[in-house]
Amino acid sequence: MFKVTLERNKCTSCGTCEDTCPEYFELAEDAFAHIKGSKKAEVEELELEEEDCFMDAAENCPAMCIHIYKDGNEVL
């Protein structure tokens, strides 16, 4: 099980996450990143069963505001 977290207060609105992984990320009306399917909050979370493009989004985020956890341990 993977958990993706997004610290919206650290987002620089560059759009890299949306470009890299449009299945899970979008820029919201306020121009900051948002995890699709999650409740908008300062820190957003989404749990997923399998690894997907969100790993690339986290690796490429210049603000390093996307974090990935696997089985409770931070992996990225």
| Predicted TM-score (pTM) of this structure | 0.94
What residues contact 16, with CB distance under 8 A and at least 6 apart?
57, 60, 61, 62
- pLDDT at 5 (0 to 100): 98
pLDDT given for residue 50 in this prediction: 92
Q: For domain 2-74, which CATH number applies: 3.30.70.20, 1.10.3260.10, 3.40.640.10, 3.30.1360.150?
A: 3.30.70.20
State mean pLDDT over 46-73.
96
